Amino acid sequence: MNQVAPSVIATGDWLYLAPAGQAYVLPAPGIVSANAIPGGADPVWQSYALGTVKEPSVDKRTSKAAKIKAPIPGTGIVVTQNVLHTEHELMMEVTMNEISRTALAGFYRTPLIALPQTSFTPFSGPASLQGWLKRQRYDAANGLWIIDEWWVDVDVTDLAKGDNNIIQPKFTFEWLYSPLAASAI
């Protein structure tokens, strides 16, 4: 992709999650946390793959604007001198094509459901699911366009029924601060 000029991009997204508290081995053994992220080839990403996104994800950024005022000299008129944007938030909302054990655990608030488990108990798990979200965004020619790695709070808000009665979970990922969060194009 030409990074010099703005481009029209038709995208498709694939999402992976490395939940907090899970062990990983690459690039060196560790436990997933806001300060420890698995390497790109670590198997933990495949263990909690969320699948393909039904439509490109909706990223939302919000911030509070604080307007700094100052008088125009000699006039007594007060105008905006500067605008500072504070308290930033970044969220991603997606509807997935596939149902996963992670989607079930997130929706029903259970502990993570790992193989070979075949049952779970609603509301028996943590109130919050956090971890590293990796989004791989592909362009219309199936070329890898952008990779995001966000430390997130995960919420599964709906197990919606879509076309042909396919269950399509709706995820909301809220960006949480980590010095390791990064994106690359």
Per-residue pLDDT tens for 161-183? Answer: 888 888 999 999 999 999 999 99
The model's pLDDT over 4-54, given as tens digits with 9 standing for 90+, comes to 677 666 678 899 999 999 999 999 999 999 999 999 999 999 999 898 898
Q: Which of 72, 115, 100, 86 is nearest to 171 (CA)?
A: 100
What tokens does 138 get? Answer: 């592909």
* CA within 13 Å, CB half, 163: 4
Q: Which of 133, 178, 170 is nearest to 15 (CA)?
A: 133
- pLDDT computed for residue 23 by the predictor: 97
Say if residue 6 is preceded by a cis peptide, omega within 30 of 0.
Answer: no
